[in-house]
Structure 1
Amino acid sequence: MTLKEDIYHACLKTLDDKIEIAKSSMEAAQESANNETKSSAGDKYETGRAMSQNERDMYAKQFTDLLHQKKVLGSIDPKKKMSTVESGALVKTEKGLFFISISIGLVRGKMNQAMAISPISPIAQQMLGKREGETFDWMKKSEQILEVL
């Protein structure tokens, strides 16, 4: 397994875990809304039910967003060797590894760890189109791209 495949699979595992949590939370909130019983206070029932429904809607949105991210990640071929920084590239810089894919932050694979960032993130925008050996400016400093995988 290559380093890029390791990071790719770590992203996939992180996403699957987040999807499962969002799905379970969404189902639990729906169950809570369904089980709200009418109290003698009257409005309390409707308020509790509305709060549970809002919570369910929030988890449903997270679930949908995560499924979209999984689709985006699925469109990346981790075996493809890149010569320039683009979506799907694993970029080694002086600061560390960046996987240009989806925005889920730090992921830990078996071989190393990397920041999984979206191609539209500010740092990715500075790197896009660059090759090994080229530099980009980030946080008022010049950073060198050591390798593009």
Structure 2
Amino acid sequence: MEIKQQLYIACKNYIEQRIATIEKAIHSAREASTDDTKSSAGDKYETTREMMQQEIDRNATQLNEALKLKQVITAINPEHSSAVIQPGSLAITNNGSFYIAISAGALNINGANYFAVSAASPIGAKLMKLKKGDSFQFNGKTYSISDVY
């Protein structure tokens, strides 16, 4: 399987795992909210319900962000190749290999490290629209692009 397809699958798995974790946290908070019975002191019951509601709201926000990431990754065709860096491109530089998709951090594929970065991230924005042979400065380092897939 081509490396870009493996990176794409790794990013999709990252998102799916994140969504599942958030949904589980929301479910747990809802259960905790409904399990706390009124037999305890009234104020304590209301405080617990409010805390659980805040937890649900926080997780709902994270779930929305994860669903947006899912839309971003779904819009990428892992088989598309371009000479110019764009979402879905794999840029090989002298200071690391960057897969432009979502911010998923370091991914290890077949013993090699790749960085999954969003096009909107600081380094992703620098890489966008560059091509093989181009260079750019980031955090005091010069990055030279040796290949784009």
> In which range does the TM-score fall when normalised by the shorter chain?
over 0.9
What's the RMSD between the two structures over aligned residues?
Answer: 1.4
**Partner Cα distance (2:85, 2:66) in 1:** 24
Deviations 1:44-83 (A, max 9, x none): 1100010011111111111121111011100000001120
Query: Which residue does the alignment assign to 2:60?
Result: 60
TM superposition score normalised by structure 1: 0.93
Deviates more, 1:106-115 or 1:133-142: 106-115
Give the % identical residues. 34
Helix, strand or coil: the match of 2:115? strand
Contact 1:14 1:107 in 2 (8 A): no
Q: Where do residues 1-149 of structure 1 align in structure 2 (5 Å cutoff)?
A: 1-110=1-110, 112-149=112-149
How many residues are treated as equivalent by the alignment?
A: 149
**Partner Cα distance (1:67, 1:91) in 2:** 25
Deviations 1:109-140 (A, max 9, x none): 34633211111111112111111111011112
- Change in CA separation of 1:6 and 1:65 when aligned onto 2, cut-off 3 Å: same
Unaligned segments of structure 1, at least 5 residues:
none
**Partner Cα distance (2:85, 2:110) in 1:** 23
TM superposition score normalised by structure 2: 0.93
Deviates more, 1:27-36 or 1:99-108: 99-108
